[in-house]
Structure 1
Amino acid sequence: MSGTTTASPEFPPLLAAALSAAERGWHVFPLRPGTKRPAGHAEKYCPGTGYCTNGHKTPEQRATTDTDLLIAAWAHRPYNIGIATGPSGLLVVDLDTLKPKDSKGTPDGATSLQALYERAAQALPDTYRVRTARGGEHLYFTQPPGVRLHSTAGRLAKKIDTRGWGGYVVAPGSTTPDGAYTVLDDHDPVPLPAWLHQALTSHPKPSQYAMTPSMKCRSGYAGAALRSEVENVATAADGTRNATLLRAARALGRLIASGDLDRTEVEQALSRGASGNATQPQRYYDDVIARGLDWSIAHNPAGGRAA
């Protein structure tokens, strides 16, 4: 499908942009005007009415392609536009720019990605591409059939995050105090390259020795929470192991959503804790971890991580 829209020209620009995204099959929800934060209430303030009559609905769950619902929503306020990447079948690679606090010699996201595809001896295909408000880029890809890729932070390289299930991106047409989100390349999103898919899904198994210093060096509440939950999983009694692992994943998922922990680090740490106390195949525990993290990130008051 091309980037054209049948949205009527009399629609305000933000609504027209929301409808254009929905026409591509992308699931859209409103962000607070001028921000990257989802509109609406957090779970702890849920009134249990409207969308939430049968339970609180996260932005990912509320996102829609229904034209009538979008027109009704944007009639209230000039919302910015969020795209729920998972339900939209998208995996968006987020290339960050450098910040003043970054150490000298740190590459930006675009440089890190170029190094990755040169190392893989691959070319990056033309795909839908957006310039972010701070000068970074979003590269849109479609997720492989039958695969649910989740959001990651720094897994591919420094200054490269991804947004999939459990996350969202700010759509072009939106504006924040840092600037506007604009389309750089209007190609339809192409399938995620196999080499990028492999880089996102490979799970190197670090040794116990290699992981321990990382966890000991992490300071503060997040580090203490990570160590405590891994210990709980590693020492769980028979009959409580699965429930303990699920509770640990849900607890740590909140810290992933807030940006205090990296999802890959949590997955590896919990997986290692479970493997030392296992009665099931490792993939079984990894699935429990993924389900717990997905649930927690989706139910975080911030509605998942945005880019």
Structure 2
Amino acid sequence: MSFQDTLLRHALAAAAMGFHVFPLRPGTKIPALHGVKSCPRNGVCSTGHVGWEQRATTDRAVIERCWSAGPFNIGIATGPSGLLVVDLDTPKSPAAQDKDGCSRQGIEWGRDVLAELCVRTGQPVEQVFDTRAVATPRGGEHLYFHAPSGVELRNTQDALGPLVDTRATGGYVVGPGSRTPDGTYTATDDREPSDALGWLVQALSPKPRTAVSAPVVLPTRRLDAYVDAAVRAEYDRVAAAQRGKHSKTLFIAAVALGRHVGEGNLSSTTAEHHLLTAAAHMIGPGCDCTEAKVRRTISDGLRAGASTQRPSRPGNPTAPATRGAA
């Protein structure tokens, strides 16, 4: 059996378990489907870009057609699959291990961190590991759980502790059978995923926002044409940002909109809303971006832009050239 046939077999096996799969570029963890910037706006995208999460499928015919075209690695979209996957990582270097504080605690990797969390919270250690598991090429492990209904869990980084990330709505993991330069993803426990433990769900559930942190956002259509065009341009810039340039692109866009905020032509709440929406794709596997980091970058950029002098905008010669950040 060829490696391509093996990948097809693994993709079909994942789909048979109800996992929604999509192709990753051969030998990588990067989606093989086109992104927003290169979207042809035809076919499945005729009414707008459709990303990997929406195109992930359990349809056998679609999977066979896709994997007959090449030796694609297997992406499992955790959201549509109803999964919560806990990613137990290993330090990338001794320096990183020391930075995480693991070496000083006698903790070597994410599995130890999760076990220590169980001990501290009075949870049975063996229970959290009693589920489907996949070994990663660099010595880590993915623990698969059925996500609870009625609670939208999102991706997290270090929310449970150093070297422990999670993937849920908006995320994906590399499925077993996939191969990268570091090695092959291998199922070490091929059972049906267990239901996510209550304490784990509680620890990862989004915290309720106060009225102050969730103000009413003015829709773009209520902005004047000039500012509307600026918002749309910066939204597109951020939405098309390539991996490795996320923070820089997001900061530049935030500075640009911050200038309009400083002039009093755009509320900081509206600017933040559109930038956060455009930056949603940045939070996922293979990227250091977290929601907290994205929000901080936007806040810093808006503040910098609001305090930057610029010429008055067209059609408003009496607008103040600058206004201090709030």
Q: Tell me the TM-score normalised to structure 1 length.
A: 0.70
User: CA 1:128/1:110 → structure 2, altered by over 3 Å: closer, same or farther?
Assistant: same
1:41, distance to aligned residue in structure 2 (A): 1.6
Residue equivalent to 1:113:
114
Which residue identity lines up with residue 55 of structure 1 in the other structure?
G
- C-alpha distance in 2 between matches for 1:262 and 1:241: 21
Is 1:96–1:160's contact at 8 Å kept on the other side of the alignment?
Answer: yes
Out of 267, 287, 294, the residue aligned to residue 259 of structure 1 is 287
1:76, distance to aligned residue in structure 2 (A): 0.7
CA offsets 1:118-157 (integer angstroms, 9 cap, x no match): 1111123411100011110000011111222111111111
1:40, distance to aligned residue in structure 2 (A): 2.4
- C-alpha distance in 2 between matches for 1:224 and 1:242: 16
Q: Please state whether the residue corresponding to 1:199 is helix, strand or coil.
A: helix
Q: Please state whether the residue corresponding to 1:133 is helix, strand or coil.
A: coil
- C-alpha distance in 1 between matches for 2:41 and 2:24: 20
Out of 258, 274, 290, the residue aligned to residue 247 of structure 1 is 274
1:244, distance to aligned residue in structure 2 (A): 3.1
Q: Please state whether the residue corresponding to 1:12 is helix, strand or coil.
A: helix
Which residue identity lines up with residue 154 of structure 1 in the other structure?
D
Out of 25, 46, 51, the residue aligned to residue 53 of structure 1 is 46
- C-alpha distance in 2 between matches for 1:116 and 1:67: 40
Which residue identity lines up with residue 164 of structure 2 in the other structure?
I
Is 2:257–2:271's contact at 8 Å kept on the other side of the alignment?
Answer: no
User: CA 1:117/1:202 → structure 2, altered by over 3 Å: closer, same or farther?
Assistant: farther
- The reply to whether residue 131 of structure 1 matches residue 135 of structure 2 is yes
User: CA 1:109/1:16 → structure 2, altered by over 3 Å: closer, same or farther?
Assistant: same
Out of 96, 121, 125, the residue aligned to residue 102 of structure 1 is 96
User: CA 1:44/1:197 → structure 2, altered by over 3 Å: closer, same or farther?
Assistant: same
- C-alpha distance in 2 between matches for 1:113 and 1:72: 40
Is 2:251–2:298's contact at 8 Å kept on the other side of the alignment?
Answer: no
Residue equivalent to 1:200:
204
- C-alpha distance in 1 between matches for 2:161 and 2:254: 24
- The reply to whether residue 148 of structure 1 matches residue 142 of structure 2 is no
User: CA 1:102/1:230 → structure 2, altered by over 3 Å: closer, same or farther?
Assistant: farther
User: CA 1:141/1:221 → structure 2, altered by over 3 Å: closer, same or farther?
Assistant: same
Is 1:48–1:56's contact at 8 Å kept on the other side of the alignment?
Answer: yes
CA offsets 1:193-215 (integer angstroms, 9 cap, x no match): 1111111126499xxxxxxxxxx
Out of 30, 33, 37, the residue aligned to residue 40 of structure 1 is 33
Is 1:34–1:176's contact at 8 Å kept on the other side of the alignment?
Answer: yes
Instruction: Tell which has more relative contact order, 1 or 2 (C-alpha 8 A, sep 6+).
Output: 1
Which protein is bigger by CA-based radius of gyration?
2
User: CA 1:64/1:254 → structure 2, altered by over 3 Å: closer, same or farther?
Assistant: closer
Q: Please state whether the residue corresponding to 2:81 is helix, strand or coil.
A: coil
User: CA 1:236/1:158 → structure 2, altered by over 3 Å: closer, same or farther?
Assistant: farther
- The reply to whether residue 172 of structure 1 matches residue 166 of structure 2 is no
- C-alpha distance in 1 between matches for 2:13 and 2:190: 12
User: CA 1:119/1:18 → structure 2, altered by over 3 Å: closer, same or farther?
Assistant: same
- C-alpha distance in 1 between matches for 2:282 and 2:139: 27
Is 2:272–2:298's contact at 8 Å kept on the other side of the alignment?
Answer: yes
Which residue identity lines up with residue 24 of structure 2 in the other structure?
L
Is 1:19–1:70's contact at 8 Å kept on the other side of the alignment?
Answer: yes
Which blocks of at least 5 consecutive residues in structure 2 are unaligned? 210-246, 300-326
CA offsets 1:191-245 (integer angstroms, 9 cap, x no match): 111111111126499xxxxxxxxxxxxxx8489679969989x999899576334
Q: What stretches of structure 1 move > 4 A for 4+ residues in a row?
A: 220-232, 234-242, 264-271
- C-alpha distance in 1 between matches for 2:249 and 2:199: 32
Corresponding residue pairs, total: 248
Q: Please state whether the residue corresponding to 2:160 is helix, strand or coil.
A: strand
Q: CA RMSD in A?
A: 3.4
Which residue identity lines up with residue 119 of structure 2 in the other structure?
E
